[in-house]
Structure 1
Amino acid sequence: MKQPTLVVLAAGMGSRYGGLKQLDGLGPSGETIMDYSIYDAIRAGFGKVVFVIRHTFEQEFREKIISKYEHKIPVEVVFQDLDKLPAGYTVPEGREKPWGTNHAVMMAEAVVKEPFAVINADDFYGRHGFATLADKLRSFSDTRDKYCMIGYRVGNTLSESGTVARGVCQVDERGFLTEVVERTAIARGEDGRISFTDENGEVQYLDDNTPVSMNMWGFTPDYFDYSNELFCHFLKALDTNPKFEYYIPLPVNLLVAEKKVTVEVLDTPDQWFGVTYAADRPDVVAKIQSLVDAGEYPSKLF
């Protein structure tokens, strides 16, 4: 049985590489958030890690990041650049904005031939999520059109420093995704309830256990075919939406709505966290230290 691959979306480091949150030492021995993700992936049984980066910082990334992992797990590097487009398409004049997370996923097609997970480089996901995802992906070895995602409980993803945006998941009675809806300005109020304001200006409330997407997905390789096809479709409409970005929920929602695929939403009790605001840093440091103190992680990972 092939072990699943972990695809880490790290191209967003770009010009920020060298000092901000992606490389900030938050663990007791200077570990970054990404170090914890790789550590959790290794112990969950992932067989390979693929980093999606940009050419502009390849050398630095190889020296400072990959050197830590290359003797622990096989590592591949692929590149997301603005001009990585399907045949017949060119970058529109004046376009500087990246093409989005699903475009980043597409860059891994040449090196991923087995079920794979996708995560952000700068999010702390927790041990349980990786173990759950790896187990499910191993069961997908000889299948297609069956995907999954880790649905974090919204109450475990909030920031004490401000509001957050989350992909709120609509799930059917069988536990399968029907839609991811982006909601902004989510926060816990003084009354303890979690709320956001919808597109009609109405306040809506969310149960603490409502699943949300934190960009932790599981796919089989056929997802690349769907992604390429839909990307071409959207590129044709750039004139009407010049700032278009190809985020993962966009093709997923379309494929689910057309009943071409299923996406199982897998629950995790883990607390997601990240440095959304500068003020979040001390809290993140404290949360990691508490996990180390509880024996979840060693004081030095690698």
Structure 2
Amino acid sequence: MTLLLMAAGSGSRYGKLKQFDDLGPEGEFLMEFAIYDAIQNNFEQIVVITKKENVSFLEEHLRQRLPDHIKLDVLAQEISDLPKGVDYKGDRKKPWGTAHAVWTARNVVNGPFVVLNADDYYGQSVYKKAADFIKSNNEAYALLGYTLKNTLSEHGSVSRGVCKVDGDNLVSVNERLKLVQHGNKIVDEDTGLEFTGEEQASMNFWVCRPSIFDKIESELKIFLQDEDKIATSELYLPFMIQEMLQANEVEVKCIPSGGEWFGVTYASDKEKAVANLKEKTEEGLYKTPLW
């Protein structure tokens, strides 16, 4: 099984590259806890998608720490990495989005894989749930969801994909751009929509199959023909999966993670993240140092 971490963001709201901030008790990156938890659940390949200038540093950093039997691939998400026959002559600096980040791994991933953000903490139990799903299901995709009220930030609004489910089947994920807590309800200040907080939210923890690569490639070709989109727009992984779902090309399960999530969207989130990781280490959930 493969764990794919997306670590190519620029950290504009955080103020620096949060993927490489020393949040653990011994200076560990947040992604190292995800990698550790995945390895404990028999994941054997780690793929990290990052910026070209960070590849060598991150590959050396992780190779020195990971067990020898773990396959490690650190890949650069590059603007020039496009489908055969497609060319782009513009001067865009911003990456093509999370779907393109996943597509970057098409030549090194050969089986089911888990995708997640390198700058989020997803809890330990979710990796077992993902591994169990992969072992018991040969075709379906899955979203490991989190209770919406537990995914907010005390320091500003957040964007979340709010899930609509039917039993254990994912029906849709609707992106809400400015979610904030108002009393006992959650309001999307962008649309005025209200939520109870008990809804499942997507925190970008997906179980995918290699079929996603063909879908992303075909959508990239269409995307790159639109002059308006290629200026500033991005291709997002959840949109790709939702399109496949609505076209009945895949079945997607929504599995409540039952775990704790926290992230570092804002610089002020760091103190809480550091305290959380320190507490979990002191409780014996993690070794220190981690490796």
TM-score by length of 2: 0.92
CA offsets 1:88-142 (integer angstroms, 9 cap, x no match): 22224232221000101011111111110111111111101111111111223xx
Q: Secondary structure at the match of 1:165?
A: strand
The answer for the alignment partner of 2:174 in structure 1 is 181
Structure 1 unmatched ranges of 5 or more:
none
**Aligned partners of 2:224 and 2:17: how far apart in 1?**
32
- Judging changes above 3 Å, is the alpha-carbon distance between structure 1 residues 37 and 263 closer, same or farther for their aligned structure 2 residues? same
The answer for the alignment partner of 1:62 in structure 2 is 59
State how 1:52-91 maps to structure 2 within 5 Å: 52-69=49-66, 71=68, 73-91=70-88
Percent identity at matched positions? 36
- Judging changes above 3 Å, is the alpha-carbon distance between structure 1 residues 255 and 238 closer, same or farther for their aligned structure 2 residues? farther
CA shift at 1:198, angstroms? 4.7
CA shift at 1:154, angstroms? 0.9
State how 1:44-193 maps to structure 2 within 5 Å: 44-69=41-66, 71=68, 73-140=70-137, 143-144=138-139, 146-172=140-166, 174-189=167-182, 191-193=183-185
**Aligned partners of 2:289 and 2:199: how far apart in 1?**
34
**Aligned partners of 1:7 and 1:33: how far apart in 2?**
14
Give the residue type in structure 2 aligned to 1:231: L
The answer for the alignment partner of 1:21 in structure 2 is 18
Aligned length: 289
**Aligned partners of 1:89 and 1:300: how far apart in 2?**
46
Contact 1:118 1:215 in 2 (8 A): yes
Asked if 1:292 is matched to 2:285, the reply is no
Give the residue type in structure 2 aligned to 1:171: V
Contact 1:238 1:244 in 2 (8 A): no
CA shift at 1:237, angstroms? 2.4
Q: Secondary structure at the match of 2:232?
A: coil
Give the residue type in structure 2 aligned to 1:176: N
The answer for the alignment partner of 2:209 in structure 1 is 220
Q: Secondary structure at the match of 1:170?
A: strand
> Which deviates the most, 279-288 or 88-97?
88-97
TM-score by length of 1: 0.89
Q: Secondary structure at the match of 1:237?
A: coil
**Aligned partners of 1:94 and 1:65: how far apart in 2?**
32
CA shift at 1:63, angstroms? 2.3
Structure 2 unmatched ranges of 5 or more:
none
The answer for the alignment partner of 1:257 in structure 2 is 246
